[in-house]
Chain A
């Protein structure tokens, strides 16, 4: 099993051969792009190699350093750390280490390969404390942690090259920023350092390369082999009229999905959420009980050993089918896989192509992905994704710009590693792409935050994290050091509890909020089994197997992916085709009855039109607006419109969004005309109004959760935490309130707001959308009942609220409604959980 593979990577003894002979011995001939990468490396260049997975990127980057070493005298002992290999997922690290170790002995290189991740055992850590291996495979978080040690500079002195694997996965995240800062540190120590990124092809590959290398360096861009041919098709529901419109799970298509799995040897079934993997796994198993033992589940909340086992079985080809989330998007090839099924919207072109690329690794193989729509409208998305993929319209990933929470963490890390002088560190930090425009004021604030806890004029008494001794910023307090090391990293996660059998045996983890709702005797599906909940104790949910059916499925809060700009625009085009009756793809043809109904009750909008539907139901007064800009931009638009509306009259609105549009729901009469709507959607004053809307819409509060954790504000609980640790746990919402009230100038608050604007609302996209809508023809309809387009919004349970009524008025209105309802024997009542 993988655990043993991880521990020791020893290649068998074989005669020493030349690199070309080694390739030939495997039946390979180096590709042109690999030769190109090796030459560039020899010339001292840095850059980015981009190609789809499974096309030889690893050795393109790795043989540069190997060829260089072969030209040198061979030492008798393995040399100190020389090649650092960063991977975004620790799950990938052991496979990567194995392929990096494979050629060493044959080439006669006396090198060793080691791993350093959160899973690395204490004994290995102790050894690495003395000496790091020649090639070290690690993650951005573990690298940042290694760099907090006082002797790091010495240990990294012999480093010549860094390879960042799957850079596209890190690029658009704070983990990418963490990587940028670590690379800046390493470049300061070794000015000649060569940095190479490996990436899938992106809409902005050149930007990706320059972010990796930092300011003032010119990256080499090397394009790998062309991708395999990709086929995108869908399971067409036999009867679209009866198809669920809402985001139900599309289980009606189970027979077709089972048939698709049956037609291949080994299939991956991707779903968009972890809950759905559990549901689909159960459904497929009950349809095909004979597949028990050849079926598995894979998602991020399952225990590592379970996941490792599943991956090994996939490689061995013993798996009929694995139901998974994006947890299997990355990583080494599962060659036996010949069928890929995507349940639910693919959300993006690149993502769908990457998943398709998981199949067809056999020689001459074709990548194929079959999409299973979970609502009828997703058929349009499949047709749109195919059109965009054929055109090569692949999404860009935008890098972060100066997130101060990550910088605050880096400052404490650097203070831990023997300390720093601010001017020197500032110069280094500004060489990164993320912080090139960092102002002196912002830098001063981050230093103050580390030393005093807040801005200099309002020093927080008794607070001490970083101390200044003769101009040197250091951490002396052992407790501070320990807590900081425990919280290094940027992945925000919900507080989670382990799931374990009473008899022992770990299954994985569920969120604390889910566990807290369970009562003894409740049965839930997890890791593909029905478990009976017994109790929660010490951050562990104790369970036993149950023979009865489950009555609940765990839900994991996770950001829901928005439809990408590329895909959203392709969807608008597809609808246009449909509205003109050009139903030439199987998806659009199948959708004809739904589109017909939409046209009959309301309208199928063309790209030049903006559709608004008004409707009154028992719940209140609905406006459905359909810009087709993806859910993030819609969240921003909904907040903007609701805010502007609330300025005109005291009103409380709830908002629901999806990828096609958004809904405003008012409890009291509301009917917006075209001129009202044009005023509410005016692009002028966008930024000021959006910022103002954030204060009421609670969105900044949500974003603050991540910012607060990265900056080290919120200390997450851990099993066995002492009482004193529990006394300093507070929700980030409380933090947000207390900061907003008593330290409103806090830059972390500002950052949270900025992140909402740029990341959540995609401000640029929002502005473009408003400009587009201004030129559009407004079509306002009053359909007799919810239309196919409106229905999914109507049933969306997750809602934002924005109010300009006083709290007391809201409560009185709600309680008065309740009184009325009670008189009429209706069912609504105040609810406690």
Chain B
């Protein structure tokens, strides 16, 4: 898709690729969410971290990525930084050692601490401009450019003939703000109400489909 003269490709891995800057954008991975549950003695199986990283690898295989930008909520909670999760993240980073990584801190990242040292990432405490875009966590419009953000975990409800109804994670681009779906799998979605003129895309299996 074209956005302010720039080319964005929306990937079914729940990521957006900015061609001109060879940048992959993801939002709300919520790494270590099952671990946070287990720390409170709620049993949740392992496997989501490696599955998420494998999804990231799949995106990398599809497009050429020099820079990864995480639009907030990298972590789920302070109890998410377990050794197992850190080990998987570090091993993944070792396989992509030429990548530049940036993180805009989200509300869940607060008090959790930084990204793993080995990730060698740049953290931003708030919105950061990269003309013509502003990378942010929260969907607040900015005077510095078009905001690309997360936080909402948008989902879209489709209805069709035969009384059919589908709820799917989606990308939602308004006049000044564009919201990415949550990258993390073990996260819920909030149904959004697009305004006329907004551009909406849903992630349907291995495809991203525009919704009129």
Contact = CB atoms under 8 A, between A and B. Distances in A.
Contact of A728 (B36, B157, B160, B188): B36
A813 interface: yes
A831 to B, nearest CB: 6
B44 interface: yes
A832 B39 CA distance: 35
B97 interface: no
Interface stretch (A176-184, A477-485, A525-533): A477-485
A799 interface: yes
A130 interface: no
Nearest to A455: B45
Q: Count chain A CB atoms within 10 A of each CB in B162, B194, B204, B207 and give the residue with the most.
A: B162
Interface stretch (A388-396, A601-609, A734-742, A784-792): A734-742
Interface string A783-823: 00000000000000001010000111011111101110010
Interface-centre pick from A801, A807, A813 (highest chain B CB count, 10 A): A807
Contacts of B192: 832
Given A461-B84, A730-B37, A815-B212, A738 B45 contact: yes
A833 interface: yes
A458 B159 CA distance: 40
A291 interface: no
A833 B82 contact: no
Interface stretch (B60-68, B126-134, B138-146, B164-172): B164-172
Contacts of B147: none
Nearest to A832: B193
Contact of B166 (A453, A458, A814): A814
12 contacts: A460-B43, A461-B38, A463-B43, A654-B164, A667-B161, A730-B188, A742-B48, A810-B166, A814-B160, A817-B161, A822-B212, A831-B157
Given A652-B164, A667-B164, A814-B164, A819 B212 contact: yes
Nearest to B172: A832
Interface string B42-57: 1111111001000000
B137 interface: no
Contacts of A464: 41
> 3 closest Cβ contacts across the A-B interface?
A453-B43, A832-B193, A814-B160
A451 to B, nearest CB: 10
Interface string A438-469: 00000000000100011000101111110000
Contacts of B43: 449, 453-454, 460, 463, 465, 713
Contacts of B36: 727-728
Interface of A: 449, 453-454, 458, 460-465, 477, 479-480, 483, 619-621, 652-654, 665-667, 712-715, 724-725, 727-728, 730-731, 734-735, 737-739, 741-743, 746, 799, 801, 806-808, 810-815, 817-819, 822, 828, 830-833
Contacts of A730: 33, 37, 186, 188
Contacts of A830: 156-159, 194, 200, 211-212
Contact of B76 (A653, A715, A727): A727
B168 A811 contact: yes
Contact of A815 (B33, B45, B209): B209
Contacts of A654: 162-164
Interface of B: 33-48, 51, 76-77, 82, 84, 108, 156-166, 168, 185-188, 191-194, 200, 202, 204-207, 209-212
A461 B161 contact: no
B46 A742 contact: yes
Contacts of A453: 38, 41, 43-44
Contacts of A810: 160, 164, 166, 204
B162 A620 contact: yes
Contact of A462 (B76, B82, B163, B166): B82
Contacts of A465: 41, 43
A728 B42 contact: yes
A738 B34 contact: yes
Contacts of B163: 619-620, 654, 665, 799
A728 B162 contact: no
A178 B88 CA distance: 42
Nearest to A654: B163
Nearest to A810: B166
Contacts of B194: 830, 832
A808 B209 contact: yes
A815 B162 contact: no
A728 B41 CA distance: 10
B212 A818 contact: yes
B161 A460 contact: no
B162 A462 contact: no
A734 B185 CA distance: 9
Contacts of A458: 45-46
A813 B160 contact: yes
Contacts of B212: 815, 818-819, 822, 830
Q: Which of B37, B108, B160, B186 has the most CB of A within 10 A?
A: B160
B107 to A, nearest CB: 10
Contacts of A731: 188
A715 B33 CA distance: 15
B212 to A, nearest CB: 5
Contacts of A814: 158-161, 164, 166
Contacts of A480: 41
Given A731-B188, A742-B47, A815-B212, A807 B159 contact: no
Nearest to B165: A801
A833 B191 contact: yes
Given A667-B162, A818-B212, A830-B159, A728 B37 contact: yes
A724 B162 contact: no
Nearest to B108: A727
Contacts of B76: 727
Contacts of A735: 44
B45 to A, nearest CB: 4
Given A734-B188, A812-B209, A620 B84 contact: no
B161 A807 contact: no
Contacts of A831: 157-159
Contact of A742 (B38, B42, B45): B45
A743 B45 contact: yes
A507 B33 CA distance: 37
Contacts of B162: 619-621, 652-654, 665-667
A463 B161 contact: no
A653 B160 CA distance: 11
B45 A454 contact: yes
Nearest to B163: A654
A715 B36 CA distance: 13
Contact of A832 (B82, B108, B166, B191): B191
B156 A815 contact: no
Given A807-B205, A811-B202, A818-B212, A460 B44 contact: yes
Contact of A806 (B41, B46, B200, B205): B205
A727 B38 CA distance: 12
A494 to B, nearest CB: 16
B185 to A, nearest CB: 7
A807 B168 contact: yes
Given A453-B41, A727-B36, A814-B161, 16 more contacts: A453-B38, A453-B43, A458-B45, A461-B38, A461-B84, A463-B38, A619-B161, A667-B164, A741-B51, A742-B45, A807-B166, A810-B160, A814-B164, A819-B212, A832-B194, A833-B157
Contact of B41 (A477, A666, A724, A812): A477
